[in-house]
Amino acid sequence: MKPVSEVAVIGGGPVGSFTAWNLSKLGVDATVFEEHAEIGVPSHCAGHLSIRSLKDLGLYPLPEGIVENTFSVANFHSPQGTAFSVRLESPVTCALNRELFDKFLAEKAEAAGARYRMGSRVRSLILDDGFVKGVNTEREGDVELVEAKVVVDAEGLSSRFVKEAGLAPLQSGCLVNAVEAEVENVGNLEMDAVEVFLGKEYAPGFYGWIMPLLNGTAKVGLAAKNGNPKDLLQRLMLKHPVASKLLKGARAKHTSFHPITLGGPIAKTYVNGFLAVGDAASQVKPTTGGGVIFGLTCGQIAAETTFEAIRGERKLSEGISKRLRSQARI
């Protein structure tokens, strides 16, 4: 086993990369272990984010091509087609190309000094007398034990490492299953409006959405507590009295599936030498299922706290408690 980095970050999604970026800006040696061969692929999220929150994180405006549209209107539709609208004077949310956004954050992290090990899967944590001391990784069949002073778990919804570290994971029954398709040949949409669809016939326990993009396509999706997401999406697109008209003649190009956690943050996110952030810690807004802004904010807190812990200024538990109190507004 050989020392490679002060901090090992599991996962190169937006939360992992933003954490690594903030660590690197503080002068911490960080290495990101990403199991996929390319950042941002596959994409698992609609990328509908608050503009103000992105500005608060220092991430807006974004480079050209990442923002696919901005929205100042939300139209809410009942199963029978009754609707009400919320209209604001200027855009408050935006649709992002998640692949490009993820790549942007990774590039920023690398430019600040973080290292990326692509195609490197973390198999397990290295545990020693109740302390997490690093990660056991595999890449192209080669296994390596990597020492680290702190391991940051930004792996996503899987609770593998949270459990292995001895923490209580998200309780079962707190998930919804989401599906999203990119559709083309759409021409009936209000370009600055997000359409939201309610009703157990189409999205039991949650909601569906349509987000028009400036290139003439749209993101159409839903999340549901039960039922087959693929079948529910077809029903929304073909049977809903409003959605079926808005999407008449539309053709789906790409479809993706992913679960969303709605149970609220896990009770404890840290243990000696280990810290979970983002979906791994269930840091997701239960009302909308949005996890990117919460995850980025918590990743920033994790980086600052980890920096202080490594430098001996404060324990992980003390730093997290202090900063979460100061960030209670999120």
Query: Which CATH number do you get for residue 11?
Result: 3.50.50.60
Residue 59 near residue 17 (C-beta atoms within 8 A): no
Domain of residue 196 covers 48-96+173-261
pLDDT surpasses 60 at 324 = no
Q: pLDDT value at position 60?
A: 98
**Band of the pLDDT at 330, cuts 50, 70, 90?**
very low
Same structural domain for residues 199 and 244?
yes
Question: pLDDT tens for residues 245-256?
Answer: 999 999 988 899
Average pLDDT over residues 284-303: 95
Show which of 204, 236, 261 is a domain's final residue.
261
Q: How far apart are CA 42 and CA 137, in angstroms?
A: 21
Average pLDDT over residues 52-61: 98
**Band of the pLDDT at 159, cuts 50, 70, 90?**
confident
Q: How far apart are CA 282 and CA 288, in angstroms?
A: 13
Backbone angles phi, psi at 121, to 5 degrees: -95, 130
Same structural domain for residues 278 and 221?
no
pLDDT surpasses 80 at 329 = no
Q: pLDDT value at position 319?
A: 60
- ∠ CA 50-56-58, nearest 5°, is 105
Q: How far apart are CA 220 and CA 218, in angstroms?
A: 6
Show which of 242, 261, 280 is a domain's final residue.
261
Same structural domain for residues 106 and 252?
no
Same structural domain for residues 148 and 294?
yes
**Band of the pLDDT at 328, cuts 50, 70, 90?**
very low
**Band of the pLDDT at 42, cuts 50, 70, 90?**
confident
Show which of 243, 261, 279 is a domain's final residue.
261
Same structural domain for residues 215 and 160?
no
Same structural domain for residues 226 and 185?
yes
Average pLDDT over residues 278-284: 95
Residue 227 near residue 134 (C-beta atoms within 8 A): no
Same structural domain for residues 6 and 130?
yes
Same structural domain for residues 40 and 105?
yes
Q: pLDDT value at position 71?
A: 98
Same structural domain for residues 180 and 211?
yes
For residue 72, what is the domain's CATH number? 3.30.9.10
With CA atoms as reference, report the closest residue to 222 among 175, 284, 251, 179: 179
Q: Take residue 148 and report the two structure tokens written for it.
A: 């680290």
Average pLDDT over residues 26-48: 94
Strand partners, 8: 31, 151
Prediction pTM value: 0.94
Task: Report how many domains make up the chain.
Answer: 2
Same structural domain for residues 133 and 111?
yes
Same structural domain for residues 79 and 194?
yes
